[in-house]
Structure 1
Amino acid sequence: MENKNKFPTIHIHPILIFFIAVGIVTGMLTELIIIFTLVCFHELGHFLCARFYKWRIERIFLWVFGGTMETDEAFRRPIKEEFFVTLAGPFQNVLVFIILIFLPKDLFPESVYTLILQYNGAILLGNLLPIWPLDGGKLVKLTLDYLIPYHRAHYWMVSLSVFSLVIGIAYCFLTDLANLSIFLLFSFLLMENRLEWKRRYYRWWRFLWFRWTEPKRYPKTEWLTFNDTENVKVVLQNFYRNRNHIIILEKDGLSYPVPEKEFLRVYMNGKHLTMNKHV
């Protein structure tokens, strides 16, 4: 049933509350207001684009360099839609640069104008890093979803994300950029990636459950060939997002086409984890 709430619940992440407290104590109220405004404007892009595609939005988490929009649309929407919703946030930051070009130069003090440029650039570039759950990490995930099976895509996404984090941490220490804010940011991202790694089997199971309970027809069909003694789980690990699957089973020198729903049925029933008893 479609969510009828036009405006989702908004939560402020604890790490953003910490930065707010630090900003007040250290007298950085102007910087705090600029960052918070830019973060909200960034997240507004995701929200408006998701609403355009009529996504069901549960809640929005705001944190230092962006936010996370939680939806109930996992696997239900085309990869293209997710791609545009993900890019809508960084597009807002590009829009800020364009707006600043046409605004009167005396509208803000020069110091404030410079801060807006610096923080907007940091939020834009920071969110495009290939790290989960930043927008760049999500774009990497969507690209992998298109190129390789979902099970492998999720594994490689987390692996590439953690590798990028390690490179980023090393760079900050080698260039003396490391400070408390950077430490907290990287700690938050490492925890998010650790959590995503622990959820990898659950994510894959949800992917299969969606295909089992809400079957759809997609423009593209993937043909997979396996021996009839192959484990059903191995076959399902080769399923792609947004594609139909026809599995060719080879048995006694003959080939049998089997639709994906048969493999899903066998797997969900938890019996006979090879297909040789079913063909």
Structure 2
Amino acid sequence: MTHHNWLPPIHLHPIFWAFLLAAILTGMLMEVMVLFGIVLLHEMGHFLAAWHFRWRIRRVMLWVFGGVMETEEHGNRRIREEAIVVLAGPAVHIVLYAVLFLLRETTAVPEGVLETAYMYNTTILIFNLLPIWPLDGGKLVGLILSMQLPYRKAHAVLIGFSCVMGAAILLYVCIALPFTLSTVSLLCFLLWENRLEWKRRYYVFLRFLLQRATFGPTGVLCTPIFASPDTTLLDILSQYRRNRRHMIVVKGKNAVLDEQLCSDMYFKNKQAHCTVADILQNRQ
């Protein structure tokens, strides 16, 4: 189910209630609620930007330390549009700094609460800008890669890059910084998520292709894909790029294939292992 309503479909992860109970028992309720409030506002920044562009939003899942907005947009929105949605989260923290500064000029909020909010606001902002998928910084790296590479390759490079960066930062934290269990746990969680994403990378690629075949490619630029008669259909589909339309130029045959025909051969005719020569013969 997708939502275009301005009210976000918020879901609280079961781990949130465990942290809330622990906070009550340990006297850390204020700190946890401030942290959760900042995370909520961060995700609302993503949500409002996506709602503005009429994205199909499934839900906003929230933990204590972070959250994720799940959508039905799988790499087929304009890169500029997606960049705005990604940056809308970090932009909220800049607004929060201004709000906290104004509150400091009053006595409406205790100084301890403001100091805690400043600390968590800075921590979440910096952490989210790390170039590790699925953090906002990692998503921006993915957008940059997809401007230069086909979608399938850009996604694979992003996950590989994220794993290297995550491992490097984890090593630095363990060696050079005072050990903090929460930081190490979050980095290990991100590495685990990247491992899972690597395992399902082909599924992510197929999801991109299916949505592209269903709704058509975005963008006005047309980039030719040059293929020989023995080039496989999957090799052609693997060269599809975001925000580009494609025509497949068959070398030595003076023929051009439409990308929609190739997509239909894959999804409708189930000819995943056919070649360009097979497609030409089928077209006649």
Fold equivalence (TM over 0.5): yes
Q: Distance in 1 between matches of 2:164 and 2:254?
A: 42
Aligned to 2:178: 177
Distance in 2 of aligned mates of 1:21 and 1:175: 33
- 1:244 matched to which residue of 2? 245
CA distance in 1, matches of 2:17, 2:70: 20
Distance, in Å, in 2 between the alignment partners of 1:150 and 1:217 is 13
Aligned to 2:80: 80
Deviations 1:181-228 (A, max 9, x none): 123312321222122112211111111112222224621111121211
Deviation at 1:113, TM superposition (A): 2.1
2:221 paired with 1:214: no
Percentage of identical aligned residues: 40
Residues of 2 paired with 1:77 and 1:185: CA distance?
A: 29
Equivalent pairs, count:
277
- Distance (whole Å) between structure 1 residues aligned to residue 279 and residue 156 of structure 2: 31
Deviation at 1:150, TM superposition (A): 0.3
Task: Describe the SS at the equivalent of 1:276.
Answer: helix
- Tell me if structure 1 keeps the 8 A contact 2:50–2:85: yes
**Tell me, what secondary structure is at the counterpart of 1:25?**
helix
Take 1:147 and 1:24, find their aligned partners in 2: how far apart are those partners? Answer: 49
Name the CA distance, whole Å, in 1 between partners of 2:232 and 2:2.
Answer: 37
Match for residue 100 of structure 1?
100
Query: CA deviation digits over 1:78-133, x for unaligned, max 9?
Result: 12111111111110011111222333153333332222111100010111111121
Q: Verify the 8 A CA contact 1:146 1:241 in the aligned structure 2.
A: yes
CA–CA distance in 2 between the matches of 1:193 and 1:24? 33
Match of 1:156 in 2: 157
TM-aligned CA distance change 1:90 to 1:234, over 3 Å:
same
Tell me the equivalent position of 2:49.
49
Q: What SS is found at the alignment partner of 1:245?
A: strand
Distance 2:65 2:168 in 1: 19
Distance 2:179 2:229 in 1: 55
Q: Quick check: 236-245 or 60-69, which moved more? A: 60-69
- Report the Cα distance in structure 2 between the residues aligned to 1:225 and 1:165, rounded to whole angstroms: 37
Provide the C-alpha distance between the structure 2 equivalents of 1:184 and 1:224, rounded to a whole number of angstroms: 44
Q: Do 1:56 and 1:72's aligned partners in 2 also have CA atoms closer than 8 Å?
A: yes
The normalised TM-score by structure 1 is: 0.91
Secondary structure in structure 1 of the residue aligned to 2:251: strand
> Which residue identity does 2:75 align to in structure 1?
F
User: Structure 2: which 5+ runs fail to align?
Assistant: none
Residue in structure 2 matched with residue 123 of structure 1 by the alignment: 124
Checking the alignment, whether the CA contact within 8 Å between 1:230 and 1:274 is kept in structure 2 is: yes
1:2 Cα deviation from its structure 2 partner:
6.6
Is this contact kept in 2: 1:229–1:275, CA < 8 A? Answer: yes
**How do residues 1-279 of structure 1 correspond to structure 2 at under 5 angstroms?**
3=3, 5-103=5-103, 104-216=105-217, 218-251=219-252, 254-268=253-267, 269-271=269-271, 273-279=274-280
TM-score by length of 2: 0.89
Verify the 8 A CA contact 2:173 2:184 in the aligned structure 1: no
Alpha carbons 1:35, 1:64 under 8 Å: kept: yes
- Contact 1:225 1:248 survives alignment (8 Å): yes
Unpaired segments ≥5 residues, structure 1: none
In the TM superposition, residue 69 of structure 1 has moved relative to its aligned partner by: 0.7
Query: Structure 2: how far apart are the matches of 1:134 and 1:15?
Result: 19
| 1:241 Cα deviation after fit | 1.1
C-alpha distance in 1, partners of 2:128/2:122?
10
Contact 1:66 1:127 in 2 (8 A): no
| Structure 1 residue identity aligned to 2:149 | I
Q: CA deviation at 1:76?
A: 4.1
